[in-house]
Amino acid sequence: MDFKPANNIQDLQYFGEFGGVNPSISDSSTYTFLSAKTMFDTFEGNADGCYLYSRHSSPSNLYLGEALAAMEGTETANVTASGMGAITGVILELCKANDHIVCSRTIYGGTYAFLKNFTPGFGIATSFVDITNLGLVEAAINEHTKVLYCESVSNPLLEVADIKALAALAKKYNLKLVVDNTFSPLSITPQILGADIVIHSLTKFINGSSDTVGGVVCGTQDFINALRDVNTGACMLLGSTMDTLRAASVLKNLRTLHIRIQQHSKNAMYLAEKFESIGLRTVYPGLPSHPSHAIFKSMLNDEYGYGGMLTVDVGSLDKANELMEMMQNKNLGYLAVSLGFYKTLFSAPGSSTSSEIPEEEQKKMGLSDGLIRFSIGLDADIERTHTVMVDCMRAVGVL
């Protein structure tokens, strides 16, 4: 792939009100109109460029949205208060009672809970399938299906979706392909591969400082307008709007994303290779042993690598817990959920972020008790990190 997502972010030029190098922060919930007629037209959606009320849109949120749209190669974007705010808005915009979704069975726990427990109450049914098996995906599509939903790199098993092939299926059956790209910003550009709508939890790599939650929906102008429609739009009416002060701070962090992703990927690749070579059961899409390595490689934007996420199966939850506590005591990282921080974060997904998924289903999808999910940090000295991690593994009997 030769798409240059970071260039697209950097080519956007927004000067602040007084020539500031950062755009001025908009600090208002409501906006004045010079004429009453313009206010009416704005409500009717006929006054481009006018701000009405900040749940609808605001300058700071638009700046961040446009930068993320440039990164993802979509016409535009809408930022939201959290990743779940983006996901729930998109699903409820696209699906009404009697509609059906075909969804990857290995997805973020909150998304799984929403589709499994919440949306059936609104008459929206979901079939969960192994997204890497295109035959199963196609077989699950029925006359009510509206949406094909997946994560480009799945949480927590790091399965890789073949976005081009899924886009072809979506086209064939007239579905919307929605891709959550939270685990692989910059590395994968789903829109180029045929995705209709791209979602991120900004909470993770994109903001990168673990100081806020946030989300974004990237898509066509028509779809984003529909989400924001005053009378019918899911984002407008459900109200998960990002605060404008926060949008300004996320935009500043976004500008260094390319450097951070390169370092996350470099460090994760280093550890994954070492771990695998000493016999640890390691899953990392950058390893040739990963079942979808070739697919990831075919989708990869050069120079960003395979991302910062890897998993190691240490055999049992007790061993996993012991190891994680010891690594935290040695200051190798933090025993915490979430990802994309400068410091390595680790957790056992079976008992934390994926605990919404019933144990039996966890087993079926290969999510074992002893699995540790790592979000590898920006460590300057990854060789030393590796040495101390291996010491910890020896001490708890994993090696």
Which residues bind to ligand PLP, rule: CB under 6 A? 82-84, 108, 110-111, 151, 155, 180, 182-183, 201, 203-204, 213, 215
CB neighbourhood size of 331 (10 A): 11
Structure tokens at 125: 């049914």
Enumerate residues 6+ apart whose C-beta is below 8 A from 387: none
Report the nearest approach of ligand PLP to the CB of residue 209 (Å). 14
Structure tokens at 292: 């979808």
Measured between alpha carbons, how far is 20 from 178 in angstroms, rounded to an integer? 37
257 or 396: whose CB is closer to ligand PLP? Answer: 257
112 or 223: whose CB is closer to ligand PLP? Answer: 112
Report the nearest approach of ligand PLP to the CB of residue 17 (Å). 30
Report the nearest approach of ligand PLP to the CB of residue 373 (Å). 10
Report the nearest approach of ligand PLP to the CB of residue 91 (Å). 12
183 or 374: whose CB is closer to ligand PLP? Answer: 183
Residue nearest ligand PLP, CB atom distance: 83
Measured between alpha carbons, how far is 232 from 250 in angstroms, rounded to an integer? 28
* Secondary structure of residue 235 in the 3-state scheme: helix
Report the nearest approach of ligand PLP to the CB of residue 329 (Å). 26
- Write phi, then psi, for 216 (nearest 5 degrees): -150, 145
Q: Which of 303, 295, 319, 315 is nearest to 269 (CA)?
A: 303
42 or 152: whose CB is closer to ligand PLP? Answer: 152
Report the nearest approach of ligand PLP to the CB of residue 201 (Å). 3
Chain length of the chain = 399
What's the distance, CA 101 to chain centroid? Answer: 19
23 or 350: whose CB is closer to ligand PLP? Answer: 350
Task: Assign residue 207 a region (left: φ > 0; alpha: ψ between -120 and 50; beta: otherwise).
Answer: alpha
175 or 309: whose CB is closer to ligand PLP? Answer: 309
